[in-house]
Amino acid sequence: MSTQTKPTIALGADHAGFEYKEMLKAFLTDYEVKDFGTYAPDSVDYPDFAHPVADAVESGAYQFGILVCGSANGVAITANKHQQIRAAICWLTEIASLARQHNNANIICIPARFVSQDLAKEMVSTFLTTAFEGGRHGTRVNKISC
């Protein structure tokens, strides 16, 4: 009997991304999802949620991260302060695919105020199922860290 484990996802959002975070949490039934908050739509500071998600992915405890805020800029900037994180802002499914294929991104950042929930689900699905191509892209990715 196989005891295959589900892929792991660290999930977080600020108040602007709260609704999308809750929707994505319900959507990601094929994954083990850890919700790092926020847990209510009240105003909060995005670094308080981006750092724990980035820590979880950077440590290897979770395979991928999903961060959501209004523009996705705040959470992406915060997550990318972590050495082993490659957080990509995505607003099209093709961008989500390329972030994985060419950049080996490990956190997708979604701008809740600029994409529909259906597009957010499509981007997340694409991001989580697209493989890194390696090769010349691996050489480039290896030059990112300081």
Catalytic residues, by residue number, are 69, 102
SS3 129: helix
Looking up tokens 């290897």, which residue turns up? 60
Peptide bond before 126: cis, by omega within 30 degrees of 0?
Answer: no
- The dihedrals phi and psi of 33, each to the nearest 5 degrees, come to -110, 130
Strand (E) or helix (H) holding 75: helix 73-79
The span from the CA of 53 to the CA of 24, in Å, is 15
Encoding tokens for residue 39?
């847990």
The span from the CA of 68 to the CA of 35, in Å, is 12
